[in-house]
């Protein structure tokens, strides 16, 4: 898909992979990018990015990605200012790791906190799906307004959604909630792929390995050095820009579908 003069929305855009993706898309000529994050850092990130890019392309939005009113207001503003949104990378996510079942000091089984599980599902699974569907809706409405029905190949691809999965979608110790949500995104991607192409919108999913982001930086670094890096062929963390490059490839190459694993050769033990 041609990225020049297109409009994008990216969640989690104040840092990490999402921020690198915002900057990469801006360099590819995207007209405007709605940069969404729950942190105040989103304003500084956009200000710095626009200054370095030497144009006003990054538009900050602070809010909770699980909030319906916030989501619809972001899309409404982007559409009103720039037109239909063509690219969506719903990258915001959280990690709340713990064993699914463990025995406490009294010999009783303690189950993973159900409230935490629901929170991870809200942020990592439901929110990305609805940000993606909202984007499809902007294109579908625009096509309907122009009296266009089913998309035809001669029109060229109208939009692209890239979900952020994880190597943990294949299962990982201590990540019952996180792994479940990332695996769930595969089902959403497969379903939207079949539905959204009616409107000319492609969907795909990328599964990054352990990446040098604030999320991984908050982990026990001794654990990272001893239990993660030795199981990675590159024996280092991925850089956010490396994952962003893969996302840009998936956006621009319309023949790319399904899943792409950007895992640096990660091979966890059984």
CATH number for the domain including 123? 3.40.50.720
Q: Please, what is the Cα angle at 157 between 200 and 16, to 5 degrees?
A: 100
pLDDT in tens, 66-85: 999 999 999 999 999 999 99
Q: What is the pTM of this model?
A: 0.94
The answer to whether 34 and 85 are in contact (CB under 8 A) is yes
In a domain, 269, yes or no: no
- Cβ atoms < 10 Å from Cβ of 29: 12
Residue 194 corresponds to which tokens in the numbers above? 């079949």
* pLDDT the model gives residue 223: 73
Number of domains in the chain: 1
All residues at 6 or more sequence positions from 256 whose CB lies less than 8 Å from its CB, including other chains: 204, 249, 250
In a domain, 267, yes or no: no
In a domain, 64, yes or no: yes
The answer to whether 197 and 161 are in contact (CB under 8 A) is no
12-18 average pLDDT score: 95
In a domain, 44, yes or no: yes
Pairing between β-strand 58-62 and β-strand 32-37 as defined by DSSP bridges:
parallel
* pLDDT the model gives residue 196: 97
Domain containing residue 40: 7-262
135-157 average pLDDT score: 96
Of all residues in the chain, what percent carry a pLDDT higher than 70?
A: 98
Q: In the beta sheet, which residues pair with residue 261?
A: 207
In a domain, 2, yes or no: no
Count of all residues that appear for the chain in the document: 270
Q: Does residue 60 surpass a pLDDT of 70?
A: yes
In a domain, 21, yes or no: yes
In a domain, 251, yes or no: yes
Q: Does residue 270 surpass a pLDDT of 70?
A: no
pLDDT in tens, 160-188: 999 999 988 988 888 999 999 999 999 99
Nearest alpha-carbon partner for 173 in 229, 114, 98, 115: 98
The answer to whether 122 and 181 are in contact (CB under 8 A) is no
Residue 219 pLDDT level (bands cut at 50, 70, 90)? low
């Amino acid at each position: 898909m041609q990225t020049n003069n297109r409009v994008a929305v990216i969640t989690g855009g104040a840092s990490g992979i999402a921020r690198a993706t915002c900057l990469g898309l801006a360099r590819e000529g995207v007209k405007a990018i709605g940069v969404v994050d729950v942190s105040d850092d989103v304003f500084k990130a956009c200000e710095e990015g626009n200054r370095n890019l030497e144009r006003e392309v990054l538009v900050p939005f602070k809010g909770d990605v699980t909030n319906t009113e916030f989501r619809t207001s972001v899309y409404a503003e982007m559409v009103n200012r720039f037109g239909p949104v063509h690219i969506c990378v719903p990258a915001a996510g959280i990690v709340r790791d713990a064993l699914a079942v463990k025995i406490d000091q009294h010999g009783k089984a303690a189950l993973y906190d159900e409230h935490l599980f629901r929170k991870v599902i809200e942020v990592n699974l439901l929110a990305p799906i609805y940000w993606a569907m909202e984007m499809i809706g902007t294109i579908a409405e625009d096509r309907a307004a122009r009296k266009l029905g089913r998309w035809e190949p001669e029109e060229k691809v109208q939009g692209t959604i890239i979900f952020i999965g994880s190597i943990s979608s294949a299962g990982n110790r201590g990540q019952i909630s996180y792994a479940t949500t990332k695996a769930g995104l595969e089902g959403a991607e497969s379903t939207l792929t079949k539905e959204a192409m009616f409107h000319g919108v492609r969907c795909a999913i990328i599964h990054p390995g352990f990446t040098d982001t604030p999320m991984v930086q908050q982990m026990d670094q001794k654990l990272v050095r001893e239990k993660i890096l030795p199981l990675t062929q590159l024996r280092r963390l991925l850089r956010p820009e490396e994952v962003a490059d893969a996302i840009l490839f998936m956006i621009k190459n319309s023949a790319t579908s399904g899943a792409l694993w950007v895992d640096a050769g990660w091979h966890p033990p059984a």
